[in-house]
Structure 1
Amino acid sequence: MRAAAAALCFVLALISVPAQPAAATVSAVRLPGGKATYVVSQGHLKGASSQNWVRLGSYRFAADGTVTAALYLWWQRHPEARQRTGIVPDLGCTTKAGGSGSRPRTCEVLTAGGFTGAPDESRTGTFTVSGNVLTIRWKIAQTWTEQWYVRPSPDGRLARLDLKHSTLATHGYGYGSNAALGTRRAMSSVKAFPGSLRQDLTSWAGGKLVTSSGQPFGHSAFRACATTTSCLTYLQPSSRGACQKSGGCPKYGGGTRPNISSIQYYLTKISNSDRRDTLWHWCTCLAMERGEFCYTGNSHVKPLMQIIDDKGAFRGWVGAEASFSTGSRAADMMAVFRITDFR
């Protein structure tokens, strides 16, 4: 009898134990294009505005649905002077004789103000991916939502972001892979890249927007430096549209008796630990008009971020131009662009 009672009590105890809720599970959010790290260039560029800005940097996506941005910002409201990089190409790729027809001049490379230091801003947000559309909602004081079309590369080693909509930006480009943001390629790899690089660009100058696409970028024509291996140079012999008599070179430019329309190009690494490079170029005749060997006027400074694919290979850059005039804002030159084999 006691045994039966004990058994009954045991059964009742089992029945009366409340069911325990199943452990909560958190499902991973799908990464855009299956890629975690992106380099991004975007800008607010409007023809009638003198408050334009460009941003350049990185987005990092996590499986918990959060995204972190680290970006450099250049804004016409707060123009920044060009900055010295400390890099002077050696005589293996430059010349101290300004009349040379095959090499640029031996000048310290300049870049946009602040680009040699830490990013100007860091922000976090949340993201979702629906079909081929990535939506980002940034957690900042003002409403800022971005939508990008996500396009995988044919080889699956990259994903491309094409701007669909943004609360604040008007133009943008992005490229992602699963390579760490600290992965970069040397200038020797850039020069040796076997593919064809082409540029797509939206630029602002003088209150006007100019859009171009598919411009060839002749990286293989750049000259490697002997000891300054972080730099490549190229002297474009002549230009039909730039460096002309009517474009600021009345004594020496194209269409004058000297007819000098060459362009000095310098491409250099900014950091060993991340993707930063920079492109600097200017018309030879502009320096001559000022009696200078190295041009100190309104040269083109174009910060770049290398595009690196899943296998760690170089695939081009996203970039921004932040060339603020030493005079009025109307003479500023700003742009967002990409130079890549996957467009």
Structure 2
Amino acid sequence: MPRRSSIGPALLFISLCVAWLFCACSGKAEDSSDGARWFKPCLSDCSATTAEHSAPPDTRPEEAQPQGEPEECNGIDDDLDGATDEDGANGCEVFMADKDGDKCGTEQQTSCVCVPHPPYTALKGGDCDDNNPDRNPLAEEICYNDVDEDCDGVALPDCAGKECGLDGCGGLCGACELGEVCTNGGCYPDDCLGDCSGKECGNDGCGNSCGECPLGQSCSGNQCLACAPSCTGKQCGPDGCGGSCGDCPEEHECMAGVCKPQGCQPYCTGKECGDDGCGGNCGACGPGQTCESGVCKSGPCTPQCTGKQCGDDGCNGSCGTCGPGQTCENGVCQSGPCTPQCNGKQCGDDGCSGSCGTCPAGTQCQGSACVTVCTPSCAGKQCGDNGCGGSCGTCPAGKSCVAGKCQEGACVPTCDGKTCGDDGCGGTCSVADGSVPGGRPAYIVAMVRLNPGGTSWARLAQYTFKASGEVSQSFWLWSFLNETDKTEVAQTVAPCDKDKCKVYAATRFPSGGGYPKALVGKWAMKDAKLAIDWSDGASESWKLADLCDRVRLDLAGSDYNVTHGIGYGSLAGLDQGASVAERMSLASVNLHGPYAVLSGDKLSSGETSFDFPGDWKGCSDSVAVRFAPAEPCGSCPNGETTSPVRYYIAWLGGRKEVMEHFCECLVTSGKCYNGNARLKSYLQVLGDTGAFHGWVGVEASLYPGGIHTMGWFRVTED
């Protein structure tokens, strides 16, 4: 028999390749001298390395083949397979996949490697969104954005299950009664003595722990008992005994025992309890309470699962869980990708366990709209007002609250010259009437429904509340279904505008034409919200935020498809107003706030701001003009993309005011423009003493034959 070559199988493959013994396109090699034959897909050249193309099988008897050793992490091909230090070799270390490069990975995707290589580069686990480098256990938590950055299952502020203590954002979850102390989120007598006699674990009766149970045991009745795995209703995650209830498929992660698409962001805005959209919950209710549609209520809760296979049952429970590869879409388990439903929404649930957007800093999502949130301020304070209508704590017997500190002796409130704010003794200075919402009888409100491709409308209203529970409103309404055009309301004069141009408003806002219209209803405070039932069958609810000399209304919900709503109330009468001349004499302040605009079928939203009076020029007691520098303008007839912009403000008396603006490039004859300008109707925000704080308003630029534009605005100091 011919003598066999001494080179190994991998080198034999290279030699054959160099010698062109590999068939050009047959995928079949020439016969070797000892009759061995092997097959391989056709290669166009011999550039492949042994790491890319495995060697031909050795046909010698096993006892005659070279015998390698088990692979070690040592840089040597111990097992003679042509590769070194493969994954799984002896001495390897387990690394987790880190797809987003934030140095944290997920325990569901691991590999034992000799040298870290993408994606297996992370030693720290717990990454709840491996497609977002801003969410991982090493990230810093950001308050008031409804996002769990550090992957601990909680978005700050967090008061779930707490009746007192810090909320994680400088505020408090509540204050204990006199004679009680706060321990681990619970209120206990200040002379409470913990008792762990006969207890191995659990609460000592004063909020502290009697011990932790070892792995494989759980605490039951203050005793550590053998653990029984619990996976009922769970697809994944811990079984309670150190084991697992299952693993999630690729591109999914385990959230509270349910496999959710990676990147799911818990959504708890406006909810005290219930499903957070990612398999977790937004908090727990107290004894005797049940969770109903995200709100803790007394008495039994009736689950609402008719026609639903999955999702929230309205009682802090679930209507069912979907199988692997399925998603819960509006209560129905669907196979394949879920289609988000975000038309007309700035934020909130998209129906696919995701979000329609996040709100900017200082705002929160309410009713799918971003509204300004009040941030409690208790830094350095033991007691007193937290700035949002709540308390930073109460003082024990014998002490009083003075400038946020508990001090010996009686405190004398100081409210001279003040109508609101801290009285220096833990209370507030107020002239408000406690028999009406927020202590204020008069409110101005701006509401819209912005529905791309559907019916959209805008409404400005003035509400008057009575202690009897009655409420009335006068309102102005515009709709895409009713084209309105414009009406002249004023004219500019020299020296502010030498051109002496007409100023226009959206028809209906000036007096006449059957507007304003009137409506009556009933009001009540329910679950800390203002609930209104109107005589036409419509209802709405609002959250109240005390801003010292005024109250802000943030829309909490309605049954007539409102997408954005804001309002303000004060002691100032609705017939009161600040003229342009009065405001032009004041120091300039920055007015800012959110907006949402629907132009045709295109919906946009964001933040707007400008200084007032700033660079505005007063034309008269009721008119001001501003000549702004070049801004983007898509309607210039000469093909330009930017143009200076002219703004007019006209005060119509009382709270009513209008703004008109247009691109200067549209002025083609003379110096004035009488075409389709942007028309906004505003109601002034006044404090209790009549101080001007900005506007709430709507846009109704509705021109026959033109592209309709409708919007909603808040431009205020807060």
TM-score (ref. length: structure 1): 0.78
Deviation sequence 1:242-300 (CA, Å, 0-9, x none)? 32xxx12141633xxxxx610010011112xx211110100111223xx4532232211
**Structure 1 residues 29 and 188: alpha-carbon distance in aligned structure 2, compared to 1, 3 A threshold:** closer
Q: Give the match for residue 18 of structure 1.
A: none
CA drift of 1:327 comes to: 1.3
Whole-angstrom distance in 2 between the partners of 1:46 and 1:308: 31
CA drift of 1:78 comes to: 1.2
Aligned-residue RMSD, C-alpha: 1.8
Contact 2:589–2:613 under 8 Å retained in 1: no
| Runs of 5+ unmatched residues, structure 2 | 1-432
1:148 and 2:528 matched: no
Deviation sequence 1:54-99 (CA, Å, 0-9, x none)? 01120011000011010011111111111001x2111111133xxx
| Runs of 5+ unmatched residues, structure 1 | 1-27, 97-105, 255-259
Whole-angstrom distance in 2 between the partners of 1:268 and 1:250: 28
CA drift of 1:211 comes to: 1.3
Q: Give the match for residue 494 of structure 2.
A: 91
Q: Give the match for residue 665 of structure 2.
A: 285
Whole-angstrom distance in 2 between the partners of 1:190 and 1:43: 28
Q: Give the match for residue 471 of structure 2.
A: 67
CA drift of 1:193 comes to: 4.8
1:53 and 2:447 matched: no
1:299 and 2:697 matched: no
Q: Give the match for residue 15 of structure 1.
A: none
**Structure 1 residues 54 and 310: alpha-carbon distance in aligned structure 2, compared to 1, 3 A threshold:** same
CA drift of 1:222 comes to: 3.9
Deviation sequence 1:76-135 (CA, Å, 0-9, x none)? 1111111001x2111111133xxxxxxxxx311000002111533100000111353111
Matched residue SS, 1:64: coil
Whole-angstrom distance in 2 between the partners of 1:321 and 1:314: 21
Deviation sequence 1:31-56 (CA, Å, 0-9, x none)? 2211110011101111121x211011
Whole-angstrom distance in 2 between the partners of 1:282 and 1:219: 19
Q: Give the match for residue 166 of structure 1.
A: 558
CA drift of 1:311 comes to: 1.2
1:181 and 2:577 matched: no
Matched residue SS, 1:221: coil
Contact 1:298–1:326 under 8 Å retained in 2: no
Contact 2:588–2:612 under 8 Å retained in 1: no
Among 627, 632, 648, the residue aligned to 1:266: 648
Q: Give the match for residue 443 of structure 2.
A: 38
1:123 and 2:519 matched: yes
Whole-angstrom distance in 1 between the partners of 2:682 and 2:614: 19
Among 698, 706, 710, the residue aligned to 1:334: 710
CA drift of 1:194 comes to: 4.5
TM-score (ref. length: structure 2): 0.38
Q: Give the match for residue 616 of structure 2.
A: 223
Whole-angstrom distance in 2 between the partners of 1:74 and 1:193: 35
Aligned residue pair count: 282
Residue type of the alignment partner of 1:109: V
Contact 2:444–2:685 under 8 Å retained in 1: yes
**Structure 1 residues 252 and 208: alpha-carbon distance in aligned structure 2, compared to 1, 3 A threshold:** closer
Bigger radius of gyration: 2
Correspondences of 1:102-117 after superposition (within 5 Å) = 106-117=500-511
Contact 1:221–1:234 under 8 Å retained in 2: no
Whole-angstrom distance in 1 between the partners of 2:494 and 2:436: 47
Whole-angstrom distance in 2 between the partners of 1:39 and 1:112: 18
Correspondences of 1:226-241 after superposition (within 5 Å) = 228-239=620-631
Whole-angstrom distance in 2 between the partners of 1:41 and 1:193: 27
Q: Give the match for residue 100 of structure 1.
A: none
Whole-angstrom distance in 2 between the partners of 1:220 and 1:78: 35
Contact 2:695–2:714 under 8 Å retained in 1: yes
CA drift of 1:234 comes to: 0.3
**Structure 1 residues 90 and 252: alpha-carbon distance in aligned structure 2, compared to 1, 3 A threshold:** farther
Whole-angstrom distance in 2 between the partners of 1:42 and 1:175: 12
1:80 and 2:492 matched: no
Return the structure number with greater relative CO, CA threshold 8 A, min gap 6: 1
Which deviates further from its counterpart, 125-134 or 172-181? 125-134
Residue type of the alignment partner of 1:35: R
Whole-angstrom distance in 2 between the partners of 1:149 and 1:298: 37
Whole-angstrom distance in 1 between the partners of 2:671 and 2:649: 19
- The sequence identity of aligned pairs, in percent, is 29
Residue type of the alignment partner of 1:132: A
